[in-house]
Structure 1
Amino acid sequence: MTISVPATSANLGPGFDSLGLAVDLRNVVEFHPSKFFSIAIKGEGANNPRLKGNNLFISIFNEHYERLTEKRQSFKFTFFNQIPMSRGLGSSSAVIVSAISTAHEAAGVRVSKRRILNHALAYESHPDNITPAVMGGFNAATIEKNKVFSQKKHLPDYLKAVVVVPNKPINTLKSRTLLPKSYSKDNAIYNLSHTAVTVAAFFNEDWEMLRLSTQDRFHQKIRMKMMPELFTIQKMAYDSGALMSTLSGSGSTFFSMVYDQDAAALVNRFKQKFPDYEVKCLDFDNNGLVVER
C-alpha cells in the first residue's frame, strides 16, 4: 500500500496562514506489516540519520494507530521523498498528513479527506499548507471550532509553477519572531482586500489580476530581507511575465506562476543567475492526498 502527498506553497502573498496550493512534487510512503520495525528513506533526507531516530511520521503514526486499534504492530516503512526539507514547500505538512492517513489505512479504517485534514490540525495550527496537501488545487481555508473549512479551485494544465529553491533555509520560527505583534488598520485592510481579490481571481481564472492582488504588507518583505537575493528572484520573475511571484510559505523557496509557454525561458534565466540553487518547473496538483491500495 502506498500513500502520497504533494508539496504545497502557502500564503501566496497576502493570504497569511489562509491561502495555499499544491504542486506536483510528492512524498510517497510504502508500508506493510513486518516482524520487525524498520525505516528506509530515499531521496530528500536519506543522508540524515536523525530522521530515523527522531521521526515525526512514526510518532504521529503510532499515536493514531494505537488510538484506532488499541495495540501495537511492527511495520516496514519506505519513504520516497521529493519535497525539499525546511524550504517552505510544506514538507512538514506532507509528513503529518501522510502519517495520519497511513495509520488509518494500516488499521483498516476508511475516513474522508476532511477527517484527515481536521486531525492534522493537532500538529499544524494553520490550514494554509495542510489543506492543499490533503485536497490538492488552490485552497482558501479558515478554522472554526477546531475544524478546517475550505474552498478548493482546480488549477488548469496551461499554468505551471516555477520554484527557486535556495541552498539554505529560512527558519520559520525565527522569521515569525521578526513579524510585528500588531498591524495598522490600513495594512490590515490592504491585506484583507488583496486576499479577497486573489481568491476571486483564482476562482474566476482571471490570472492577469494576480500580479496586483498578491501584493502583501504583513510578512513577505520582512522575511525576504533575511535572504536579499529573493528580491532579485521576484523582479526577474515579473520581468519575464510571471502572473504572480511570492515567497513560498516562510521561505526560502520562491514560487512563481506562469503560462506554460513562458516557463522554460524563466527556468533558464533563474538557472543562469543562481547556479547553486535548485530550479524546478512543476505542474500543479489537483489530487492532494492519494491512497493506492
Structure 2
Amino acid sequence: MTTFATGAVRVSVPATSANLGPGFDALGLALDLRDRLEAEVIGSGLVVEVDGVGSDDVPLDERHLVVRAMRAAFDELGVQPPGLRLSCVNVIPHARGLGSSSAAIVAGVWLARELVAGGRLLLGDEGLLDLAARIEGHPDNVAPALLGGFVIAGQDPDGTFYAVPSEVDPRIDAVVFVPPEAVSTEMARGLLPKEVPHADAAANAGRAALLVAALGGRPEELWRATADRLHQEYRRPAMPASLDLVDALRADRVPAIVSGAGPTVLAFTDTTDGLLARCPEGWTALQLGIDSRGAVAW
C-alpha cells in the first residue's frame, strides 16, 4: 500500500531562458529568480492558493498547471492522493519568455514525487526530466529549471530526452528587460517558417557551438556567439519593440538576445554599468545571476 509524506513538502524553482540566440530548442540557462511552492496531502478535495504573479488570473482548480503536472507525476507513480493543498508564491513573469510554465511543471512533478513515500526510487531524476519534458513538449526550459545552470538538451530519435549540464564562467551575469505586454509561446512559434536556408542553419550551428565555449570561459566571445539567424527576426511582428532593443544593444556590441519565445530581452554582462539605463520606459530591468541550483527544497 502506497503511503504519503506527513506534512508539507516545499520546492523553489528558477526562471529560465531558452535558445540564448542561436541554440534554438537546445540551450537553456537557469536564472536567479525563483517561484516557491508548498504542497501536502489532505483528506479530500483540492485547495490552490496563489500569491504574486498570476494571482488574479490563473485557475485555482484542476486546470492549474502545477496541479496538472502533479497529477501526471502521481499517475507515473501509480497513485493519486485523496486530496491536495497547493500554495504558490510566484515571482517569475508569465508569458514573457522566462520559463514560467516550465517552472510550474518542474515544481509539480517534483512536489508529487516528494509526497509519495519512496517516490525517488520509483521516479528517478531522469524519469522526472522525461516527464517534465513530455508535459512541456520540449526540454530546453525544463532541463535548467530542474538541474540549474547552463544545460544542453534535446530528444533522441527514439523519443528519449537528454540534458547535459555545461560550465558557466562565474564572471557572467545577465540583465533581463521585461516588457509589460505578454506574448504567447504559441503565437511566437506560429511565426516561424517550416524551412530555413541552409546557410542560416549552418551559421547557427557554428554560433551555438561557440556559445558553449563563450559561456564556459570565453565571455569576450559572447557577442559573436549570440548571433541568431533561425528564429528571432521571424518573430519581429509579434514583438517589434523587443527586436528593436536587441538591435540597439547589439549595435553597441552588447550580447543581447530574445529570451525564449520572448518578448523579454536578455543581455549577458560582466558589469551593469550603463546597461540598466537602457531599459525602455514602462519595462522592468532586472540584474540576475546564473542560478546553479535548479529545483531545490526550501
How high is the TM-score relative to the length of structure 2?
0.89
Deviation at residue 201 of structure 1 after TM alignment? 2.2
- For residues 21-63 of structure 1, give each alpha carbon's deviation from its aligned partner in whole angstroms, at most 9, with x where no partner exists: 0101111111223235311101111111534462121122123
Runs of 4+ in structure 1 deviating by more than 4 angstroms, as ranges, are: none
Q: 2:101 aligns with which of 92, 108, 118?
A: 92
Instruction: Supply the AA of the counterpart residue of 1:59.
Output: R
Paired position in structure 1 for 2:215: 202
Q: Cα RMSD over matched residues?
A: 1.9
Deviation at residue 264 of structure 1 after TM alignment? 4.9
Paired position in structure 1 for 2:90: 81
SS of the residue corresponding to residue 189 of structure 1 reads: helix
Instruction: Supply the AA of the counterpart residue of 1:193.
Output: G
SS of the residue corresponding to residue 173 of structure 2 reads: strand
Q: State the alpha-carbon separation in 2 of the partners of residues 11 and 96 from structure 1.
A: 19
2:52 is aligned with 1:43: yes
Deviation at residue 69 of structure 1 after TM alignment? 4.7
2:274 is aligned with 1:291: no
Aligned CA distance change for structure 1 residues 193 and 71 (closer, same or farther; 3 Å): closer
Give the conservation status (yes or no) of the 8 Å contact 2:49–2:60. Answer: no
Give the conservation status (yes or no) of the 8 Å contact 1:39–1:52. Answer: yes
Percentage of matched positions with identical amino acids: 33
Paired position in structure 1 for 2:14: 6
- For residues 167-194 of structure 1, give each alpha carbon's deviation from its aligned partner in whole angstroms, at most 9, with x where no partner exists: 1122221222221111122112111111
Paired position in structure 1 for 2:24: 16
SS of the residue corresponding to residue 48 of structure 2 reads: strand
Aligned CA distance change for structure 1 residues 22 and 146 (closer, same or farther; 3 Å): same
Give the conservation status (yes or no) of the 8 Å contact 1:113–1:135. Answer: no
Unmatched segments (≥5 aa) in structure 2: 1-8
Aligned CA distance change for structure 1 residues 49 and 253 (closer, same or farther; 3 Å): closer
Deviation at residue 206 of structure 1 after TM alignment? 0.6
1:115-194 to 2 correspondences below 5 Å: 115-144=127-156, 145-194=158-207
Paired position in structure 1 for 2:69: 60
Instruction: Supply the AA of the counterpart residue of 1:152.
Output: P
2:281 is aligned with 1:275: yes
Instruction: Supply the AA of the counterpart residue of 2:265.
Output: F
Deviation at residue 220 of structure 1 after TM alignment? 0.5
Unmatched segments (≥5 aa) in structure 1: none
- For residues 116-168 of structure 1, give each alpha carbon's deviation from its aligned partner in whole angstroms, at most 9, with x where no partner exists: 11111221222211111111111111211222223212434432211011111
Give the conservation status (yes or no) of the 8 Å contact 2:73–2:112. Answer: yes
Q: State the alpha-carbon separation in 2 of the partners of residues 49 and 143 from structure 1.
A: 30
Q: State the alpha-carbon separation in 2 of the partners of residues 121 and 207 from structure 1.
A: 30
Give the conservation status (yes or no) of the 8 Å contact 2:176–2:286. Answer: yes
2:274 is aligned with 1:265: yes
How high is the TM-score relative to the length of structure 1?
0.90
Give the conservation status (yes or no) of the 8 Å contact 2:166–2:212. Answer: no
Paired position in structure 1 for 2:224: 212
Give the conservation status (yes or no) of the 8 Å contact 1:45–1:51. Answer: no
Aligned CA distance change for structure 1 residues 201 and 86 (closer, same or farther; 3 Å): same
Segment drifting more, 121-130 vs 18-27: 121-130
